[in-house]
Amino acid sequence: MPKIIILLAFLPILAAAVKAPAQFSKTAEWTAEVFVDYGFIEPNITYAKAGGVDLKLDVYRPKTKNAPPFPTLVFYHGGGWRGGSKEAYSLRVLPWLEAGWAVVNVEYRLTGAARAPAAIEDCRCALRWVAENAAKYNFDPAKIVVSGQSAGGHLALMTGMATNEKAFDANCPGAETRVAAVVNWFGITDVGDLLEGKNKTEFASNWIGADRFGDADLIRMVSPLSYVRAGLPPIITIHGDADPLVPYSHAVRLHEALTKAGVPNELFTVKKGDHGDFTKADSVAAYKAIRRFLRQNGVWKFGK
């Protein structure tokens, strides 16, 4: 496979979702704009090796020449730490490309390859790779935003909040990198809450491992709520209040703790929202809230 492929490859996926000719016309026009303005992906770059696994990411690069460094989104897919892939979430990055951002789409070790905290180690290592390769890809190291959905939201929070954490970074080269903001889509904030009681889930139990349920230090170490403190980067959370997998209370508790600590943050609640199964109107409103939040915090200074 060549290193550079054209984002136009997404067109069959987009067209398959279109049900009316009028919609296709709109989609075709937008796809043509994608091809002209920001149409390249460099896929499957190995950013690290861990446990015998090559860890890979995709870089989406705007075509613009002689441009100032691009604000850059680092995205972590969801799937309960046990499934999912960067490819399955490719379309999630399109709004950022449309706004003129570069995007780095990251894969990490899943439960079948390594239990907690391996996924956190990998995601933090990917962030360091982005910072170290900023000049090569024209990333703006001062405007790196981490984001993800569900387990990916948890990993984005851990990547942006758990700074200077040797327990995660011992095997990853490079300097500590501070992110400009975190965009958390219904991420887990208290792993222990998913290990027992009414909120117990199989995916969290497997990621930790039944033999480590009593390891309070480990569970605390992999929970974003443990890292709330003053001085964190701005954090916006999008969460449905009817989420059946990751309780809405995770978002509320994080919001309250961040506010108490004086951290710029926002909780965007999707009324009657399921686990990411939002309506088109709710999704558009969420992206508008993200853009507004990043503008208010000096991260989103150009683009649509």
pLDDT, tens digit, 9 for 90 and up, residues 211-237: 999 999 999 999 999 999 999 999 999
| 10 contact partners, CB below 8 Å, separation of at least 6 | 31, 34, 90, 91, 94
Find where tokens 């399109």 sit.
Answer: 94
With bands split at pLDDT 50, 70 and 90, how would you rate the model's confidence at 139?
very high
Cα gap 45→35, rounded to integer Å: 22
- Could you tell me if 17 and 77 are in contact, meaning their C-beta atoms sit under 8 angstroms apart? no
The residue among 109, 221, 110 whose CA lies nearest residue 165 is 221
pLDDT for the residue numbered 106: 98
Asked whether the predicted pLDDT for residue 15 surpasses 50, the reply is no
Residue 162's contacts (CB-CB under 8 Å, 6 or more residues apart) are 120, 124, 168, 224, 227
What is the pLDDT, as a whole number, of residue 147? Answer: 98
Query: 13: which strand partners?
Result: none
SS3 of the chain: helix, strand, coil, percent, to 5 = 45, 20, 35
Rounded Cα distance between 131 and 161, Å, is 16
| Averaged confidence pLDDT in the chain | 88
> Would the pLDDT of 282 be above 80?
yes
CATH superfamily of 38-296: Alpha/Beta hydrolase fold, catalytic domain (3.40.50.1820)
- The residues spanned by each domain of the chain are 38-296
The owner of tokens 């200077």 is 164
The residues pairing with 76 across neighbouring beta strands, listed in sequence order, are: 106, 148
Q: How confident is the model at residue 45 (pLDDT cuts 50, 70, 90)?
A: very high
Q: Residue 52 above 80 pLDDT? A: yes
The reported pLDDT for the residue numbered 40 is 72
d(CA 290, CA 299): 11
117 upstream amide cis, omega within 30 of 0 = yes
3-state secondary structure of 25: helix
The β-bridge relationship of strands 181-185 and 139-149 is parallel
Is 23 a residue whose pLDDT tops 80? no
DSSP state of 212: G
With cut-offs at 50, 70 and 90, classify the pLDDT of residue 105. very high
**Confidence bin at 17 (pLDDT 50/70/90):** very low
With beta carbons less than 8 A apart as the criterion, state whether 139 and 69 touch: yes
Does an H or E element contain 147, and which?
strand 139-149
Query: Mean pLDDT throughout 111-132?
Result: 96
Query: Is the predicted pLDDT of residue 38 greater than 90, yes or no?
Result: no
Which has the minimum average pLDDT: 25-34, 91-100, 183-192? 25-34
Confidence grade of residue 163 (pLDDT, cut at 50, 70, 90): confident
Q: Which residue has the higher pLDDT, 37 or 242?
A: 242
| pLDDT given for residue 94 in this prediction | 86
**Rounded CA separation 134/131 (Å):** 5
- In angstroms, the first-to-last Cα distance of the chain is 33
- 139 backbone dihedrals φ, ψ, rounded to 5°: -80, 145
DSSP state of 90: G
129 and 162 Cβ atoms separated by less than 8 Å: no
pLDDT of residue 36: 75
